[in-house]
Chains A and B, each alone.
Chain A
Amino acid sequence: MLTMQALIEKMKHFWAGEGCLIAEPYDLEKGAGTMNPETFLRVLGPDPYASAYVEPCRRPRDGRYGENPQRVEKHHQFQVIIKPSPDDIQERYLASLQSFGITLKEHDLKFEEDNWEAPTLGAWGVGWQVMLDGTEITQFTYFQQAGGLDLRPITVEITYGIERLCMFLNGIGNIYEIPWNERFTYGDMRREAERQFSAYDFEAARTDLASRWFDEYESESKRLLDLGLYLPAYDFCLKASHTFNILDARGAISVAARADYIKRVRRLACGAAEAYVKRSEPAQAEEVSRG
Chain B
Amino acid sequence: MADFLLEIGTEEIPSGMVRGLAEDLLDRVTGGLKAAGLAPSGKALIAAPRRIGFVLDGLPTRQEDRRETVVGPALSIARDAAGAWTKAAEGFARKQNVDLTACIEVQGPKGMCIGFERDVKGRTLAHILAEAVPAAVDAIYLPKAMKWGAGEYLFVRPVRWVVALLDGEVVPLAVKGVTAGRASRGRRIFGSEHVEIPAVKDYFPLLEREFVVADPEKRSRGIRAELAEQAAALGGRVPSDPELVEKLVYLCEGPRVLTGGIDPEFLSLPSEILVACLREHQSFFVVLGGQGCALPYFLAVMDAPADPKGLVRRGLENVSRSRLSDARFFYEHDKAVPLERRLEELKGIVYHPKLGTYFDKAVRLEAHARELAPYFGAAPAKAARAAKLCKCDLASLLVQEKEFTGLQGVAGGLYAEAQGEDPDVAEAIKVHYDPKPGAGPVAMTVSLADKLDTLVEFFRIGQAPTGSKDPFALRRAASGAVAILSDRFQAVRPGARREDLADLIGRWAGQGSEPLIQFLGERARHKWEGEGFAYDEVNAVLATGLHDLADSHARLQALHGVRNEAAEDFDHLSVAFKRVRNILKGLPEHGLYPSKFLPEGHQEGDAERALYQAYSAVAEEASRALDAGDYESALRRLSTLRPSVDRFFDDVLVMCDPEGKDPGKTALQNNRLALLQRVVGLFNRVADLSEIVPREI
Contacts and interface: CB of A to CB of B under 8 A. Distances in A.
B311 A153 contact: no
A135 B322 CA distance: 11
B189 interface: yes
Interface stretch (A9-17, A103-111, A176-184, A185-193): A103-111
A99 to B, nearest CB: 15
Secondary structure at the A interface, as helix, strand, loop or mixed, is mixed
A114 B303 CA distance: 18
A115 B144 contact: yes
A133 B150 contact: no
Contacts of B144: 115, 126
Contacts of B158: 85, 87, 142
7 contacts: A105-B189, A111-B12, A115-B144, A128-B12, A134-B282, A142-B158, A173-B322
B318 A171 contact: yes
Given A110-B303, A113-B15, 6 more contacts: A86-B149, A94-B188, A107-B315, A135-B315, A151-B151, A173-B321
Contact of A154 (B151, B193, B314, B316): B151
Contacts of A70: 322, 326
B149 A108 contact: no
Nearest to B17: A113
A112 B319 contact: no
A142 B350 CA distance: 34
Interface residues of A, number: 39
Interface string B139-167: 00000101111110000011010000000
A153 B152 CA distance: 8
Contact of A110 (B150, B251, B314): B251
A284 to B, nearest CB: 23
Given A110-B252, A112-B251, A134 B315 contact: yes
Interface in B111-143: none
A133 B149 contact: no
A94 B189 contact: yes
A92 to B, nearest CB: 13
A256 B304 CA distance: 47
Given A134-B316, A173-B318, A84 B189 contact: no
Interface in A211-244: none
Interface in A143-177: 144, 151-154, 156, 168, 171, 173
A86 B157 CA distance: 14
B17 to A, nearest CB: 8
B146 to A, nearest CB: 4
Nearest to A69: B322
Contacts of B312: 106-108, 133
Interface string A64-91: 0000011000000000000011110011
Contacts of A106: 307-309, 311-312
A132 interface: yes
A154 B322 contact: no
B348 to A, nearest CB: 9
Interface of B: 11-12, 14-16, 49, 144, 146-151, 157-158, 160, 188-190, 193, 251-252, 282, 300, 302-304, 307-309, 311-312, 314-316, 318-322, 326, 350, 353
A79 B497 CA distance: 67
B148 A142 contact: yes
Contacts of B326: 70
A273 to B, nearest CB: 17
B319 A84 contact: no
A142 B147 contact: yes
A67 B11 CA distance: 39
A26 B144 CA distance: 33
A176 to B, nearest CB: 14
A107 B312 CA distance: 5
A152 B147 contact: yes
B149 to A, nearest CB: 5
A285 interface: no
A194 to B, nearest CB: 17
A257 interface: no
A111 B253 CA distance: 12
B147 A171 contact: no
Nearest to B320: A134
Contact of A135 (B148, B251, B307, B319): B319
A152 B147 CA distance: 8
A84 B16 contact: no
Nearest to A136: B319
A154 B15 contact: no
Contacts of B157: 126
A190 B318 CA distance: 23
B146 A113 contact: no
A125 B145 CA distance: 10
Nearest to B321: A173
Given A104-B189, A107-B311, A152-B147, A133 B316 contact: yes
A108 B147 contact: no
A125 to B, nearest CB: 8
Nearest to B256: A108
Contacts of A255: 350
Nearest to A102: B311
A208 B353 CA distance: 27
Nearest to A168: B315
Please name the 10 residue pairs, one residue from A and one from B, whose CB atoms are nearest each other, closest first: A133-B315, A113-B14, A152-B151, A108-B302, A111-B12, A126-B146, A134-B319, A134-B316, A108-B312, A104-B189
